[in-house]
Amino acid sequence: MTIQKVPKRLLIGLQQGFLMSDVLIDLAWLTEEFTNHVDSQNEISSNPISLAALKFTSDNIDVAKEITTEGLTDQERARYIRSLSEITSSEIFEFSTCNRVLYVGFGITKEKLKSAIINFNKIDGTIFETFEDNQAWRQLVKICSGLDSFIIGELQVMSQFRKSVNFHREHGLISHYNSGFFEHIIAANRSIRKQLGFNNTTESMLSLATSALDALLEKNGPMRTAVLGFGDMGMKAVEALLDSNQRDILVVSRDPDVAAQRNPGLAKKCTLISHNVWAEGQYQPDLIISTIRNASPSYHQGQPLPINTPTTVMDFSWPPSFETSALNSVQTLLGMNHWIKISHNLGKEWDYDSTILKSETMIDTIQKRYSETLGNKAQGKFRAHVYHTMETIAKNLETSPYASSEDIPQLGAFSREIATWICHQSSPFHLSTLSNFVINTKRSLSTTMLTHVDHEVKKSILAMSNSDYVIGGAS
């Protein structure tokens, strides 16, 4: 007897006990309804967007060490941001790099945002610059474009910024609607960097490090060198040393065998040892480059550098991996204070002032386009409502008895995919078309779960298409 497999889409319909009629869905009325809500509530003035920013200087570096989330685990960082959100009753975005810390608050004034940061961290608040609404947007564009100062690491800021936005999304720290604010910043950044040729500038941390390294090697010739850490920055440091014809290279890593697997070819060109072997003090390099990532210094008065001979330490870690007390009188530490001064000098040489004047005009043009986009808040509110509705369905299904351990991790992302599909429909669509999109997903959801997702999504969309539908829950 031949057994014919029932297609998943038909099986789901049969399991529900019926095949839903092919209803034409038109959500245009809902967008119009949101237009009325936006006009009546004047939401632009009632929902401020605020920025509190701290750019590191020699004067505030100690405070910066206290509040940066660099070096924290993802769980620790998410817990910290969530705590700030709870005490402010607002969504908070936090961004830390090797040269700054900033916070963006949604639906909160700049004064309240700054006050919350100060009180929560128990720090001096005078070091923060604050901005609101359009000025906050402009300042973020400048920061991400490297325009607020030529300080180390600016070339990598945009990549770090995108990763931070994704981090907040993945951990449920910002809504889809509010994350759209950052998409405008990213788009503006691309335009400015392209027009100013910032992709070819030399103000990145790696270039700054290489320039300092070249100057030192030119002065001293071949040196015995040690690189602490073999992550991305550590490997780049080894490559820079090899490019400078240095061959006596020691790499110190927590697990040399694991580290070697990251780049076997590069690992063969240097000597890898563990931190325990390094601590024995048998190696006495002339130059140490530190790229360690820890929440607190690895070397300090209680745990000094295991070297007695003269040496220069280039600390590129953030937070710093070395305190001055870890070195003796014949050793030199080139830490964050040193790199800040060097990068400021680079900014002067690059004619920073004229570049800023030119960029202001560019930002004016981009801001005009951005303001026009913000003017269509009704469409944005509609999208936010759809995403919120789909995410609510996912959360309810995650706790349902028919959700398997394989289903649960996928439901949140799947709900966003469905919401994106709905929002991208520029004209009325048939319910069967939406159902086909849901059922034919490439995600490995169980047939039972797909049945319930399909049913709940269609039920919600049918309700939205009804003019008696009551708006609620828009983000």
- For the chain, domains (ranges, CATH) are 8-42+377-464 (no CATH), 45-202 (3.30.460.30), 205-347 (3.40.50.720)
> Which of 40-54, 73-87, 315-329 is modeled with the greatest confidence?
73-87
Residue 194 host element (H or E):
helix 176-196
Q: Of 246 and 354, which is predicted with more confidence?
A: 246
- Does residue 15 have a pLDDT over 80? no
Q: What is the pLDDT of residue 146?
A: 67
Name the pLDDT band for 13 (thresholds 50, 70, 90).
Answer: very low
Q: What is the pLDDT of residue 466?
A: 79
Q: What is the pLDDT of residue 177?
A: 78
Question: Quick one: average pLDDT of 246-270?
Answer: 92
Q: What is the pLDDT of residue 30?
A: 77
Q: What is the pLDDT of residue 203?
A: 42
Tell me which residue has tokens 């910032």: 198
Q: How much of the chain exceeds pLDDT 90, in percent?
A: 44
- Does residue 62 have a pLDDT over 90? no
Query: How is residue 154 written in tokens?
Result: 């600016």
DSSP 8-state assignment for residue 106 = E
Name the pLDDT band for 86 (thresholds 50, 70, 90).
Answer: very high
| Distances in whole angstroms, Cα of residue 352 to Cα of each of 140, 152, 446 | 18, 14, 58
Query: How is residue 354 written in tokens?
Result: 């004229």
What are residue 300's phi and psi, to 5 degrees? Answer: -155, -170
Cβ atoms within 10 Å of 198's Cβ, excluding its own: 19
- Does residue 18 have a pLDDT over 70? no
> Which of 5-14, 139-148, 337-346, 348-357 is modeled with the greatest confidence?
139-148
Cβ atoms within 10 Å of 183's Cβ, excluding its own: 11
What are residue 414's phi and psi, to 5 degrees? Answer: -65, -40
> Which of 289-303, 364-378, 458-472 is modeled with the greatest confidence?
289-303
Q: What is the pLDDT of residue 6?
A: 35
* Span of 183-192, 305-314, 316-325, 445-454 with lowest mean pLDDT: 183-192
DSSP 8-state assignment for residue 50 = E
Question: Quick one: average pLDDT of 299-316?
Answer: 93
Torsion of CA 303, 308, 310, 314, to 10 degrees: -20
Q: Give the largest Cα separation in the chain, rounded.
A: 89
The residue type at 250 = L
Q: How far is residue 333 CA from its own chain's centroid?
A: 30
Beta strands in 18-167 (DSSP E): 24-25, 49-55, 91-96, 100-106, 129-132
Reported as a single tens digit per residue, the pLDDT across 266-293 is 999 999 999 999 999 999 999 999 988 7
Question: Quick one: average pLDDT of 25-44?
Answer: 62
Q: What is the pLDDT of residue 240?
A: 85
Name the pLDDT band for 171 (thresholds 50, 70, 90).
Answer: very high
Reported as a single tens digit per residue, the pLDDT across 391-429 is 999 999 999 998 999 999 999 999 999 999 998 888 899
* Span of 90-104, 175-189, 234-248, 385-399 with lowest mean pLDDT: 175-189
Record the pTM. Answer: 0.51
Beta strands in 76-224 (DSSP E): 91-96, 100-106, 129-132
d(CA 65, CA 78): 18
Q: Of 142 and 253, which is predicted with more confidence?
A: 253
- Does residue 74 have a pLDDT over 90? yes
- Does residue 45 have a pLDDT over 50? no
Q: Of 25 and 28, which is predicted with more confidence?
A: 25
Compute the mean pLDDT over every residue in the chain, rounded to the nearest whole number.
81
Q: What is the pLDDT of residue 200?
A: 44
- Does residue 4 have a pLDDT over 50? no
- Does residue 467 have a pLDDT over 60? yes
